[in-house]
Structure 1
Amino acid sequence: MSTTPALFISAPSSGSGKTSVTAAIARSHARRGERVRVFKTGPDFLDPSILERASGHPVYQLDLFMGGFTHCQALLASAAREADLILVEGVMGLFDGDPSSADLAATFGLPVVCVIDASSMAQTFAALATGLAGFRRDLRHLGVIANRVGSAAHARMVGEGLPDELPLIAALPREPRLTLPERHLGLVQAIEQPGLDALLDAWADAWDAALRPGLTLRPHPIEDVAEEAPRPLLAGRRIAIARDAAFGFIYPANIDLLRAMGAELAFFSPLRHEPLPDCDALWLPGGYPELYADKLGAHPTLAAALAAHVAAGKPLLAECGGMLALLDELVDVAGDRHRMAGLLPGRAHVRHRLAALGLQAIDWPEGPLRGHTYHYSTLETPLTAIATATNPNGGKAAEALYQQGPLRATYVHHYFPSNPEAVAAFFLGTDGHA
């Protein structure tokens, strides 16, 4: 059993400031020389990129649907063995979704702090805070954080009525200069923000100034477990992975798994017009090809190299943005048309409104996998799906899986640890042998 101070940071809703507060706490402790490990609840690529920069360490997902209890427990245990502080940022509101942030916090007994946007309330703040704290008896709340307060007097008002057992931990002032830029999928990626470190330091300064005396993070017991090591099914295989601002939606756990199964990974940047590395298989993850379509289209060798890769019968997995990059055409939100790689028949249109969002379970020919979908584009293709995903919460999102020779494409962002053997079988090729 390991014991490490831990904190689960949630909120009544999205947009309350969970990410900025979590990042502020992480940077505050990290710059004191402490080892901070941060997790993000549920599927997300954008918030973790900010939290990774704040903490100086990769941010992993804790998701009871995608990864399961044992996987999440092993990730927490690994962090506890080396960290001075563990932070977990929740998703949406504390009780939203199935499984919810509350389910995850209760499962592992993590103490909860809620961030509440106080900008449009005064004494009602206490009613909301005590309601959140009392809604489920299996959660332990350490206190509450008021975000976007207008003045010291406002901070006093929001603290009125809070019981002793639910103290106001901090009252952070409203400061428009300390906000992160956003776009259609959420926060702008860390890699695209040259001034991010200065902003994170400013957040940490604001947190240190706002923190009130009395917050005690006691060592939290975490069972010292480890997952069974995967078999080296990909030993001797070289997998190329696109990774840059256009293809940045990559779970660290996916990379860890591929390496643990023996694969050699070769990263390259299509945006920098780097050539496709010599490889046995290729992964084009999601990202923002619609923002860089002209630059991708100007790559002098990529389209031909991708075509040759597929013609040689080598596996290629294209997820969401990676799939869009392989189409005949991509129409951006302004209506401008961009020629893409032309390996998949069809075109995609980027819309102003969200097209799909939700957890996904999908049956590959090699076995079932789990993941999620989140995109603003719609796809037109003559291809027939070989499988269709389901949403565990009964939502409308149900993504198709397309196969054309060794090329497999879908809007689903897969979580590889949900079925390592299926992932390995695909990257080995259709005959299942290296």
Structure 2
Amino acid sequence: MTMVRVDLRRQFEDAGSRADPSPVYAGLRDLGSVLRSKDILGGGFLLPRYEEVSQVIKDPRFASDRRNVGRRSLDQWWTPGMLRLLLSSMVLKDPPEHRRLRNLVQKAFTPCRVAKLAGRVEEITDELLDAAAAKPVIELVGDLALPLPLTVIAEMLGVPPADRIRFRTLFASIQSNSQTTAVSLARNYRRMRELTTFLQELVRLRRDQPGDDLLSDLVHVEEGGDRLDDDELISMVFLLLFAGHETTVNLIGNGVLELVRRPDQLRKLRDDPGLIDTAIEEMLRFINPVGFVAPRFAKEDVEIAGTPIRRGSMVTLLIASANLDETVFPDADTLDITRSPNRHVSFGLGTHFCLGAPLARLEARIAVPALLRRFDHLELAVPADQLPWRRHIALRGVERLPLVVTPAGASASRRTA
């Protein structure tokens, strides 16, 4: 039987599929467990179902580093230095190099460090909501979802106060222009070079003047005499910025949108704030801030769901589709903030489980309840089909989310008057 070939980019060309990808993913799952890719992802195979995704993501017979299966490295003599930094990311490494990098980073980016951030995250959230509350219509992405994690990561990295506006402006401009068009890529390349230079200067500063921040710890952390070199440090910061930050922005923005569109779920969370943890996990499953993870490469001839996969073949794991698989999640197309168990794969599994997951969860579980406490009523300021969505094949996020809000207590005050 001929295997179905799919152009994933074309599947998400129209705004409707970006706003609601569920029908697209359902269609892919209906086509089979293993599909052929024929788009910009470089060919290979697509896995749209949960069973195969969860299997391959933990399978040691698949590599993250294409060089380990005999494929040509993307890092060539003509590759720009900034792109080489991105290609040296821990996400694209295999053991033992991946374990070496992860061990070093985990010594600095500890659960204890993340837990200690809770108070500061609450302060930043309150400050942002104070400013937003003065507006009749708030723009949730620009007023909260974007600046919250960006401020947190700037402080975590030890960016000097005088440089934080420049840092936020530079990164925000990259984030807002992260489409995959030629013009956007050209613009982002220049800005990425500026950000790389900024971070290189920051690494030098923290090497000479260490502080009580994550970057200082990363600069000086060691294990058995081993340390991160400058390129590895910059690559790690990029990973924190573009993986951890992007996930949090989309988690808060898309998550609040789905709550507003489903008053029953919003009311349930207002009535029982203790549901916030299961609500966050369900948001991660349902809204899928990340569509797919870095591809895997077969290290040997294998079979997936009866389909032969030759050594060196690239396999793309559609984690967003896996999270909506009806065979694993009953009523998968329904947002249920009480869903338990919830075995979503939004942060990956196994050795490549997302290091920033605890931070993303912390920020969301503080920001969303704070928003609900601050405002008695939230509703869309524009029709849902007019909301702009980012034109990005891997990251799903609403660009702007204007909300008409009623401050807490305002309705009661009007009734009393």
What TM-score, normalized by structure 2, do the two folds share?
A: 0.24
Structure having greater relative contact order (Cα 8 Å, sep ≥ 6): 2
Higher strand share: 1
What TM-score, normalized by structure 1, do the two folds share?
A: 0.23
Higher helix share: 2
